[in-house]
Amino acid sequence: MSRVAIRVNGIEVHGNSREPLLDQLEKAGFQPEYQCRNGMCGACRCKLKSGAVDQQDSMAFIAPNEVLACCSVPKSNVEVEFDYQLQQQELQASH
C-alpha cells in the first residue's frame, strides 16, 4: 500500500507508506518538534494510537506506545498524537 491516511491530533491528512512521518507531516503543513531527524534525540516522539509503522533502530528513549516521527514510516493508516498542539499551516500550491 502506498497511500495511507495519517490522523494527527485529530486532523486527517493524506500520506504514503514510503516517507518518514515527520517529513509527511511537514509537507502537510504541520511543524512537529524535531532536532536530529536521526532517531537520537527523541524530540519528535509521539503516541501511536492506531495503525502500524516501520521504525528504524533508534537510540532515543521512548515509551512502548510511542514512535519517533523522524524515522517511522507508516505501514497502514495510522493515528498519532503529539503532547502539544499542532497547527496546520496553509500550504502554497506547488507547481
- Interface residue with ligand FES, options 21, 46, 70, 80 (CB under 6 A): 70
Say how far apart CA 7 and CA 78 lie, in whole Å.
Answer: 6
Residues 6-25 that bind ligand FES (CB under 6 A): none
List the x/- string, 72-91, binding to ligand FES by CB under 6 A.
--------------------
CA 90 from chain centre, in angstroms, equals 18
Q: How far is the CB of 93 from ligand FES (least distance, A)?
A: 28
Q: Taking the complex as a whole, how short is the minimal distance between the CB of residue 9 and ligand FES, in angstroms?
A: 17
Contact 45, 69 (CB under 8 A): yes
Contact call for residues 80 and 6 (beta carbons, < 8 A)? yes
Distance of alpha carbon 53 from alpha carbon 95, whole angstroms: 30
The contact set with ligand FES (CB under 6 A) reads: 34-37, 39-44, 60, 68, 70
